[in-house]
Chains A and B, each alone.
Chain A
């Protein structure tokens, strides 16, 4: 944003920046800790009241009583609830989230394996959603009530309300099966599966860093459709919110002031109005991103995408509480982290805060 633009919003109270920052920081950390603790506690309780026997997931339906009893004790289910929770917490603080009863591996290792798939997909999705969502939202606001506005709103409404599962299958049918523009379900073709050494788990990055360009293209071809689908879904939301923020800004007095001063319309829209609308938009984009990072269960199912969503659903269905708690913790951290980030950006973008600097 350029300095000296016409902003006529009241400034906040001034105060000693450093001590106040320290206090705010401490308060923030405390809030985060309490939020995560509460989240874990509620998840733990829900996991324990769900009418599902976790021992069954370990030993199956046919095991003898002695097998069943041994697994019951091994899972620590013979201990009182508060003790089970305390053991979980203590271990979690040392970075040990326990072992998954389904994959038989440490949860941390499992999450390390599935999260990059979701991160790659969600990042591609949010980029597409933001790059298209914001201009379309601006256009709809500027042309309020016109044809463009109506079309964008309908386009957004479809993206927002069509079942993603159905859209995914339709997309596969058209772009993969019929047109052959993109690759099918999965992250990579089997033939390239072992040509990339997993480093970050983000296959695009790994293949690019290793100069495996054929594999890179293959990964991109697999990523394209699910990313476009998720992008469309988040674009629908982002464009709707952009439109409403922009309408709000365009009705403000400072816009009229700017017009009177002879500032060009382009500048008014893209710099003044969008500049101010960007502040709440950051939160919208961050929350959309967080939503995508949870792993979109249906998208991951249709596209056989081995991500967090699929992992968590499977864990939930099998009462694999350690995995559910671990996954919830990761999602909690993402949410809290992105909230924090959007707060920081909010402060950075908000002229009242900037002016204090």
Chain B
């Protein structure tokens, strides 16, 4: 029986030691930027359809808009593909002049035909982000006439009303306004689809990088665009690897197998702070975390109860501990950094005050309510903290966990009591959030437009009118005041408990410089990234 002992020993030794593999390993190449991120949200690479964080960032580095803004001061708008523009007397028509001498990555020159085609295409395809453009009165039937080429390098953009010029320009900075290579896209057209089928997975832009390869849930590879009109990027290649786990990202970053980790959790960030090979950089993003209180609920529809809820969240503790460095307390619907953002934070945890308000509402002993909670670690942690503080005033909150699509489906059908959500702006103008938090043109079940105010059954004709007026105000300072006033009222009376603004945190290798964290994901830029040896 001795051979058993030998056999067992051999098996155990082999299993435990598993002959070390001094594999042919490679550090990240000096001309390649490698980022680890969860890139499973990419569903398309077509500017007319892209609406997800990761794809927006990729497009921001590979396509160009007509106009852009300074990420450090978003009020500074400048031309990119457009050299200049004028607004007609009646305020309804913009005339854009295209910058001469620019080309696409394909080598095709950029003329007015390209932005005209790109905008018309986005409106006719009518994909997710099309509303950013159609809100100016365009539709598939009239767009050929309303967005028209008037010369080789000029075109007109005629709207149904005299909207605030800043709103129009900010909307054109969104990915849906990015300029597509008309000739290249049409060379791949099938059944009059404007190259839609091809562009889902291919590239026709003029940005600093070209998109060479996208393998869903695996990798995205970008390469330097030699025909780029701006300064050539130092990196020849930029790669996103799909590494969903923060803990795994941290290991890769510490080993130097990636340059940037994009989804680190609080624990990983804390652990990396002591590592001399890694630096932590962060930037304020536009997303806000909020609670939506359905006005269909008999308790939540009482103004005093809504007010009480705002005193039952321990904002400071959640921001400092649970979300440690990844959010800051913010209590108005416009994120900091937007024109007219209100940065006052009048609410803090105050159980006694909340109890008084509940007594005024006729529910001194509290009530039972449910909250639909997306089952991500951070949302769950925030929800549990809120559940605990609500209980202090007798509000028994039952958390109903579900995945993102599930909770969202329920929310959109107005079947929730409370929904804990995160909302990111769609473009850099204040109207993007006023439109959803403070407008509800029709509270009926079959309303054509279903903003967040509608989802929470909050019927607000007066506030809707105020938000509509702000969209047409041409004087920027006056417009900012209108939004400040709107938010001050909204903060006190709305069924939204707005809590935090997101901060994006990156773990970056010490030798990597120049990554820009912008206010929205398509502003995140690695065009100027360099690596020192």
* Physical interaction between A and B: yes
Within 8 A of A (CB), among B112-145: 126-131, 134
What is the distance, in angstroms, from A121's C-beta to the closest C-beta of chain B?
14
In the bound complex, how far is the Cα of B405 from the Cα of A311, in angstroms?
16
- Tell me if B405 and A148 are in contact (CB < 8 A): no
- Tell me if A135 and B7 are in contact (CB < 8 A): yes
What is the distance, in angstroms, from A297's C-beta to the closest C-beta of chain B?
11
Within 8 A of B (CB), among A307-321: 310-311, 314, 317-319
In the bound complex, how far is the Cα of B23 from the Cα of A218, in angstroms?
6
Contact of B364 with A by CB under 8 A: no
Contact of A64 with B by CB under 8 A: yes
In the complex, what residue of chain B is closest to A61 when comparing beta carbons? B408
Within 8 A of A (CB), among B1-58: 1, 3-5, 7-8, 11, 14-15, 18, 20-26, 28-29, 32, 34, 36, 40, 43-44, 51-52
Measured as residues with beta carbon below 8 angstroms from the partner, the interface class of chain B is 35 or more
- Tell me if B20 and A218 are in contact (CB < 8 A): no
B43 partner residues in chain A, CB cutoff 8 A: 57-58, 101-104
Spot the interface stretch: B186-194, B215-223, B303-311, B386-394. Answer: B215-223
- Tell me if A266 and B201 are in contact (CB < 8 A): no
In the complex, what residue of chain A is closest to B415 when comparing beta carbons? A51
What is the distance, in angstroms, from A253's C-beta to the closest C-beta of chain B?
23
- Tell me if B405 and A56 are in contact (CB < 8 A): yes
- Tell me if B21 and A176 are in contact (CB < 8 A): no
Chain A, residues 262-291, CB within 8 Å of chain B (1/0): the string is 000110000000000000000000000000
* A70-B408 in contact given A62-B426, A218-B23, A306-B215 (Cβ < 8 Å): no
A180 partner residues in chain B, CB cutoff 8 A: 22, 25
What is the distance, in angstroms, from A171's C-beta to the closest C-beta of chain B?
10
Main secondary structure of the interface of A (DSSP, over half): helix
Contact of B161 with A by CB under 8 A: no
In the bound complex, how far is the Cα of B22 from the Cα of A218, in angstroms?
9
What is the distance, in angstroms, from B469's C-beta to the closest C-beta of chain A?
22
Within the complex, which residue of B36, B130, B217 is in contact with A64, where a contact is CB–CB below 8 Å? B130
- Tell me if B405 and A63 are in contact (CB < 8 A): no
A172 partner residues in chain B, CB cutoff 8 A: 248, 251
Contact of A1 with B by CB under 8 A: no
Spot the interface stretch: A4-12, A136-144, A326-334. Answer: A136-144
- Tell me if B21 and A182 are in contact (CB < 8 A): yes
- Tell me if A64 and B134 are in contact (CB < 8 A): yes
- Tell me if A63 and B244 are in contact (CB < 8 A): no
Contact of A221 with B by CB under 8 A: yes
In the bound complex, how far is the Cα of B248 from the Cα of A139, in angstroms?
37
In the bound complex, how far is the Cα of B408 from the Cα of A51, in angstroms?
10
What is the distance, in angstroms, from A14's C-beta to the closest C-beta of chain B?
40
In the complex, what residue of chain B is closest to A235 when comparing beta carbons? B15
In the complex, what residue of chain B is closest to A181 when comparing beta carbons? B20
B402 partner residues in chain A, CB cutoff 8 A: 51
In the complex, what residue of chain B is closest to A231 when comparing beta carbons? B15
What is the distance, in angstroms, from B58's C-beta to the closest C-beta of chain A?
15
Contact of B404 with A by CB under 8 A: yes
Chain A, residues 46-71, CB within 8 Å of chain B (1/0): the string is 00001111001111111111110010
Contact of B403 with A by CB under 8 A: yes
Measured as residues with beta carbon below 8 angstroms from the partner, the interface class of chain A is 35 or more
- Tell me if B450 and A60 are in contact (CB < 8 A): no
Contact of A228 with B by CB under 8 A: yes
- Tell me if A183 and B23 are in contact (CB < 8 A): yes
With most chain B CB atoms within 10 A of its CB, the pick from A105, A176, A189, A218 is A189
Within 8 A of A (CB), among B394-432: 402-406, 408-410, 412, 426
- Tell me if B405 and A57 are in contact (CB < 8 A): yes
In the complex, what residue of chain A is closest to B45 when comparing beta carbons? A104
A78 partner residues in chain B, CB cutoff 8 A: none
In the complex, what residue of chain A is closest to B130 when comparing beta carbons? A67
A182 partner residues in chain B, CB cutoff 8 A: 21, 23
- Tell me if A60 and B128 are in contact (CB < 8 A): yes
In the bound complex, how far is the Cα of B46 from the Cα of A341, in angstroms?
46
In the bound complex, how far is the Cα of B25 from the Cα of A179, in angstroms?
13
* A60-B51 in contact given A176-B255, A265-B1 (Cβ < 8 Å): yes
* A232-B15 in contact given A56-B409, A104-B44, A105-B201 (Cβ < 8 Å): yes
- Tell me if A186 and B8 are in contact (CB < 8 A): no
- Tell me if B23 and A220 are in contact (CB < 8 A): yes
- Tell me if B251 and A177 are in contact (CB < 8 A): yes
Chain B, residues 241-282, CB within 8 Å of chain A (1/0): the string is 111110110011011010000000000000000000000000
What is the distance, in angstroms, from B455's C-beta to the closest C-beta of chain A?
10
B217 partner residues in chain A, CB cutoff 8 A: 114, 306, 310-311, 314
- Tell me if B252 and A184 are in contact (CB < 8 A): yes
Within 8 A of B (CB), among A152-169: 152, 169
In the complex, what residue of chain B is closest to A110 when comparing beta carbons? B216
Contact of A304 with B by CB under 8 A: yes
A18 partner residues in chain B, CB cutoff 8 A: none
A185 partner residues in chain B, CB cutoff 8 A: 243, 248, 251-252
Contact of A346 with B by CB under 8 A: no
Contact of A85 with B by CB under 8 A: no
In the bound complex, how far is the Cα of B405 from the Cα of A65, in angstroms?
18
Within the complex, which residue of B4, B32, B129, B247 is in contact with A143, where a contact is CB–CB below 8 Å? B4
Contact of A244 with B by CB under 8 A: no
- Tell me if A190 and B28 are in contact (CB < 8 A): yes
* A169-B247 in contact given A67-B131, A177-B254 (Cβ < 8 Å): yes
B370 partner residues in chain A, CB cutoff 8 A: none
- Tell me if A59 and B201 are in contact (CB < 8 A): no
In the complex, what residue of chain B is closest to A69 when comparing beta carbons? B126
Contact of A339 with B by CB under 8 A: no
Contact of A191 with B by CB under 8 A: yes
B32 partner residues in chain A, CB cutoff 8 A: 190
- Tell me if B245 and A304 are in contact (CB < 8 A): yes
B404 partner residues in chain A, CB cutoff 8 A: 317
B1 partner residues in chain A, CB cutoff 8 A: 142, 265
Contact of A352 with B by CB under 8 A: no
- Tell me if B8 and A63 are in contact (CB < 8 A): no
In the bound complex, how far is the Cα of B94 from the Cα of A187, in angstroms?
51
A52 partner residues in chain B, CB cutoff 8 A: 403, 405-406, 409
In the complex, what residue of chain B is closest to A224 when comparing beta carbons? B21
Contact of A301 with B by CB under 8 A: yes
In the bound complex, how far is the Cα of B403 from the Cα of A50, in angstroms?
11
B252 partner residues in chain A, CB cutoff 8 A: 184-185
In the bound complex, how far is the Cα of B245 from the Cα of A217, in angstroms?
25
Within the complex, which residue of A62, A193, A214, A302 is in contact with B129, where a contact is CB–CB below 8 Å? A62
B22 partner residues in chain A, CB cutoff 8 A: 180-181
In the bound complex, how far is the Cα of B334 from the Cα of A337, in angstroms?
57
In the bound complex, how far is the Cα of B241 from the Cα of A181, in angstroms?
22
Contact of B288 with A by CB under 8 A: no
B11 partner residues in chain A, CB cutoff 8 A: 132, 135-136
- Tell me if B409 and A103 are in contact (CB < 8 A): no
Q: List 5 A-B contacts (CB under 8 A).
A: A103-B43, A104-B43, A114-B217, A193-B219, A319-B405
Excluding A51-B406, A61-B408, A104-B200, 12 further A-B contacts by CB distance (< 8 Å) are A56-B409, A56-B412, A57-B43, A63-B128, A114-B217, A177-B255, A180-B22, A184-B252, A190-B28, A221-B24, A228-B15, A311-B217
- Interface residues, chain B, with chain A CB atoms under 8 Å away: 1, 3-5, 7-8, 11, 14-15, 18, 20-26, 28-29, 32, 34, 36, 40, 43-44, 51-52, 126-131, 134, 200-201, 215-219, 239, 241-245, 247-248, 251-252, 254-255, 257, 402-406, 408-410, 412, 426, 448-450
Q: Which 4 A-B residue pairs are closest in the complex by CB-CB distance?
A: A221-B23, A181-B20, A103-B216, A306-B218
